[in-house]
Copies of this chain bind each other. A is one copy, B any other.
Amino acid sequence: MSTYTLGLDFGTESARAVLVDVTTGQTVATAVHPYADGVIDERLPGMDRPLPPDWALQNPADWIAALERTIPAVLAESGVAPEQVVGLGVDFTACTVLPTTPTGAPLCQLELYRAQPHAWAKLWKHHAAQPQADRINELAALRGEPWLPRYGGKISSEWLMPKALQILEEAPEIYAAAATIVEGSDWIAWQLTGNLTRNACAAGYKACWHKVDGYPSPDFLAGLHPDFSGLYTEKVAGPVVPPGARVGGLTPEWAARLGLREGAPVAAPIIDAHSATLGGGVTGPGTMFLIMGTSTCHMLMAEEEKLVEGIAGVVEDGIAPGYFGYEAGQSAVGDIFAWFVEQGVPPAYHQEAAEQGVSLHQVLSRKAAALRPGESGLLALDWWNGNRSTLMDADLSGLLLGYSLTTKPEEIYRALIEATAFGTRTIIQAFTDQGLPVRSLVTGGGLTKNPLLMQIYADITGRELAVAGSEQVSALGAAMLASVAAGAQAGGHDTLAEAAAHMAPPPTQVYRPQPDNQPIYDILYAEYRKLYDYFGRGGNNVMKVLKRLRQGRREEE
């Protein structure tokens, strides 16, 4: 009897379920459910009062609806019997958190609180807690908090502490009423099993948890607000478990609602980007996984914990149990190309695309592919949206030099691609300089469809670059974790490596560095790094001066 696991992937606008054959890795059915309320950033459902700027919420009822729609759908489509489904895995955006009652009811579902925005789930891209994040970073730096360097010296407004502090300060009654504040991912697992756990991935990358040191201290929290000291001991309590650990079995109620077997193991969840790493077949050290879309996330595992400059987080058991998971990032990649295509390309190119029935990206890529490295005479710094790794500086901005009166759009397009590849090479170098090996690369995401871009990344990084075999790497990763939660005896796998060997399809393509191009790119990379250090490390602060002037400020505050 074939066995299957369910991978449940909760995204920003929709959720997806995949049903995967545990032995062959074949995805036998897929279903997608768009959230009815989508991203709530204008007003609460059914209410008139507008939300303040930078708010972004979700409705947990949408998540439940997604379970109830997609799981029966994939069972029906595939004809797989309930007893063949040996486990469920969940990946989720993060930090996406909600306050609940002691039994897990979202506060936003209580009549008493539903008009209160702070009672709803704060989506990862809720950025209204920036003032709280600023104060947390300031105090943590002042006190020399030991957890701060693990996050590159700064935490984001998207993370749990700022979001929770914002609730406490702006809606103390909600904070008081919240028995717990919980990631959407862990909340789903809690719903399905009745057990509240915290997955090490979200806890480590978004809530400042450390396997040995635990969470930031009550003493530190009290320095932010007298009523905040119990955040972790009271509101974020519960065991921290590595992704793929068994949270529990499906409750009879949920088994009935979903048409699954009672007691089917539910795996400890994982953040979607980290799940994609597993779905890309990367379950241990030496291979970096890149999710390349509007921005790029770089995932790497290693045997050791090291402080790597500008790495957004290092978490033991953060991606796969037994390894330290490292996460780095470039804050704009596909976004830069999209900006250029929208703002910087003259009509003749648009016309050519229309005539050929292809995208402007394709026209530019084809023309850019005809150029040899160095031919454009251009070099860029890919900081159109600041620099995440390795400089962690949002006030940096983009640079392009080498312009001449004969510079062509395709030359700029290629220079922008090259710049993002130099950015990735810089991140790789930050790891290898610390003795953490990066031998090859696996990629997933929308940009993998551009062969020119892929080849440039291989040439510039000097490493083989494989394109992940699955188009649904996140959901597949969740299904792999489900197989591990089940274990081999129950028709799953005992380790993630085994799961990957069976369930992660081989790469659709492997790009190899072209020996002719590498020496030229080495020269260009050296020049990139000179500019990187000069503009990024205080040699010339012109970008910060310009940012201030742009905001209408003349002097440093």
Chain B residues lying within 8 Å of A524, measured Cβ to Cβ, are 549
The answer to whether B542 touches A401, judged by C-beta atoms less than 8 angstroms apart, is yes
Give Cα A202–Cα B384 distance, bound, in whole angstroms: 49
**Chain A 382-417: CB-based contact to B (< 8 A → 1; otherwise 0):** 011100000000000111111111011100000000
Chain B residues lying within 8 Å of A547, measured Cβ to Cβ, are 377
Q: How many copies does the complex hold?
A: 2
Chain B residues lying within 8 Å of A405, measured Cβ to Cβ, are 332, 335-336, 339, 384-385
Chain B residues lying within 8 Å of A546, measured Cβ to Cβ, are 374, 377-379, 401-402, 527
Q: Which of B376, B401, B543 lies in contact with A398, CB distance below 8 A?
A: B401
A540 in contact (CB, < 8 A): yes
Known A-B contacts A344-B409, A404-B397, A547-B377; the reply to A542 vs B554 at CB < 8 A is no
Q: Which of B374, B376, B401, B552 lies in contact with A543, CB distance below 8 A?
A: B401
Chain B residues lying within 8 Å of A373, measured Cβ to Cβ, are 549
Chain B residues lying within 8 Å of A378, measured Cβ to Cβ, are 546
The answer to whether B402 touches A397, judged by C-beta atoms less than 8 angstroms apart, is yes
Instruction: Please report whether the interface of chain A is mostly helix, strand, loop or mixed according to DSSP.
Output: mixed
The answer to whether B531 touches A542, judged by C-beta atoms less than 8 angstroms apart, is yes
Give Cα A177–Cα B530 distance, bound, in whole angstroms: 56
A80 in contact (CB, < 8 A): no
Chain B residues lying within 8 Å of A549, measured Cβ to Cβ, are 373-375, 377, 520, 523-524
A361 in contact (CB, < 8 A): no
Give Cα A528–Cα B409 distance, bound, in whole angstroms: 25
A345 in contact (CB, < 8 A): yes
Chain B residues lying within 8 Å of A540, measured Cβ to Cβ, are 530-531, 534
Which residues, 8 to 62 on A, are CB-close (under 8 Å) to B?
none
The answer to whether A400 touches B397, judged by C-beta atoms less than 8 angstroms apart, is no
Give Cα A399–Cα B381 distance, bound, in whole angstroms: 11
Min distance, Cβ A224 to any Cβ of chain B, angstroms:
32
Min distance, Cβ A404 to any Cβ of chain B, angstroms:
6
A343 in contact (CB, < 8 A): yes
Q: Which of B342, B408, B534 lies in contact with A346, CB distance below 8 A?
A: B342
Give Cα A403–Cα B543 distance, bound, in whole angstroms: 9
Give Cα A448–Cα B164 distance, bound, in whole angstroms: 59
Give the residue name and chain of the B residue nearest to A547 (CB). Answer: B377
Give Cα A385–Cα B381 distance, bound, in whole angstroms: 22
A545 in contact (CB, < 8 A): yes
Which residues, 499 to 557 on A, are CB-close (under 8 Å) to B?
519-520, 523-524, 527, 530-531, 534-535, 540, 542-543, 545-547, 549-550, 552, 554
Chain B residues lying within 8 Å of A542, measured Cβ to Cβ, are 379, 401-402, 527, 530-531
A350 in contact (CB, < 8 A): yes
Q: Which of B401, B519, B550 lies in contact with A399, CB distance below 8 A?
A: B401
A347 in contact (CB, < 8 A): yes
Min distance, Cβ A335 to any Cβ of chain B, angstroms:
6
Known A-B contacts A401-B543, A550-B375; the reply to A407 vs B527 at CB < 8 A is no
Give Cα A398–Cα B524 distance, bound, in whole angstroms: 17
Give Cα A343–Cα B408 distance, bound, in whole angstroms: 7
Chain B residues lying within 8 Å of A535, measured Cβ to Cβ, are 401
The answer to whether B347 touches A344, judged by C-beta atoms less than 8 angstroms apart, is no
Q: Which of B336, B398, B409 lies in contact with A343, CB distance below 8 A?
A: B409
Known A-B contacts A374-B550, A523-B545, A542-B527; the reply to A404 vs B385 at CB < 8 A is yes
Min distance, Cβ A1 to any Cβ of chain B, angstroms:
52
Known A-B contacts A400-B403, A405-B339, A550-B374; the reply to A545 vs B520 at CB < 8 A is no
Min distance, Cβ A332 to any Cβ of chain B, angstroms:
6
Chain B residues lying within 8 Å of A398, measured Cβ to Cβ, are 401-404, 407
Give Cα A197–Cα B285 distance, bound, in whole angstroms: 83
Give the residue name and chain of the B residue nearest to A386 (CB). Answer: B404
Q: Which of B332, B343, B520, B554 lies in contact with A554, CB distance below 8 A?
A: B520
- What are the 8 closest A-B residue pairs judged by CB atoms, nearest first? A398-B403, A374-B549, A377-B550, A399-B401, A347-B347, A402-B546, A527-B542, A377-B546
Binding site for B on A (CB under 8 A): 332, 335-336, 339, 342-347, 350, 372-379, 381, 383-385, 397-405, 407-409, 519-520, 523-524, 527, 530-531, 534-535, 540, 542-543, 545-547, 549-550, 552, 554
What are 9 A-B contacts with C-beta separation under 8 Å? A336-B405, A344-B346, A347-B347, A377-B549, A383-B403, A398-B401, A398-B402, A401-B546, A527-B542
